[in-house]
């Protein structure tokens, strides 16, 4: 897991071949006016999911991880708490390959993601996104999915 501000994203470009286009997408000026839904960045190698929602209470959260894609979660507006834990400490449930969704249960710690900050989740990173800080509040977020093992750019 990597937690940082968008202004420092250049330090992470060598990690993955899709990061240059992914962070360029996040750095554009019209993030606030993007339509909610999926937006292609580079074919199946990387795409964005623009989301708007009200944060949920911790007992409403769901632990997850992914095998095919890594996630970059970027907060455009608002603040949310995200549960994090090593997947090795979780009790794994069913993996849905069509959704690239590994369900699980367990406990972890919390981080807060603010406007302008991002977190990168790798396959070994269990996460529970979309949680309220002090009270339920609206969030506008972009999640970029980057295909693992891809050499295309």
- Whether 152 is in a domain gets the answer no
CB 119 within 8 A of CB 111: yes
What domain range is 52 assigned to? Answer: 2-147
- Whether 49 is in a domain gets the answer yes
Q: What is the pLDDT of residues 5-58, one digit of tens each?
A: 999 999 999 999 999 999 999 998 788 889 999 999 999 899 999 999 999 999
| CA 58 centroid distance within chain | 17
Nearest residue to 100 via CA among 71, 58, 61 = 71
- Whether 82 is in a domain gets the answer yes
- Whether 35 is in a domain gets the answer yes
Structural tokens at position 48: 């964005």
Provide the 3-class DSSP secondary structure of residue 25.
Answer: helix
DSSP run (H or E) holding 130:
strand 125-131
Question: What is the Cα–Cα distance from 54 to 124, expressed in whole angstroms?
Answer: 27
Look at the chain and report how many structural domains it folds into: 1
Give how far Cα 32 sits from Cα of 10, 94, 141, Å.
22, 35, 9
- Whether 153 is in a domain gets the answer no
Quote the pLDDT of residue 30: 86
CB 53 within 8 A of CB 139: yes
CATH number where 117 lies: 2.60.120.370
CB 27 within 8 A of CB 37: no
**pLDDT band, very low/low/confident/very high, at 149 (cuts 50, 70, 90):** confident
Residue 153 pLDDT greater than 50, yes or no: no
């Amino acid at each position: 897991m990597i937690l940082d501000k968008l202004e420092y994203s250049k330090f992470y470009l060598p990690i993955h071949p899709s990061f240059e286009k992914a962070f360029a997408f996040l750095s554009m000026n019209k993030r606030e006016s993007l339509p909610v839904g999926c937006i292609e960045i580079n074919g199946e190698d990387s795409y964005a999911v623009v989301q708007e929602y009200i944060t949920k209470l911790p007992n409403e959260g769901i632990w997850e991880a992914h095998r095919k894609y890594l996630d970059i979660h970027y907060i455009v507006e608002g603040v949310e708490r995200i549960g994090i834990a090593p997947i090795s400490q979780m009790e794994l449930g069913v993996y849905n390959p069509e959704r690239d969704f590994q369900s699980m249960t367990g406990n972890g710690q919390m981080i807060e993601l603010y406007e302008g900050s991002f977190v990168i989740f790798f396959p070994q990173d269990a996460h529970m996104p979309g949680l309220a800080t002090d009270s339920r509040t609206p969030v506008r977020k972009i999640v970029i999915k980057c295909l693992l093992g891809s050499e295309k750019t």
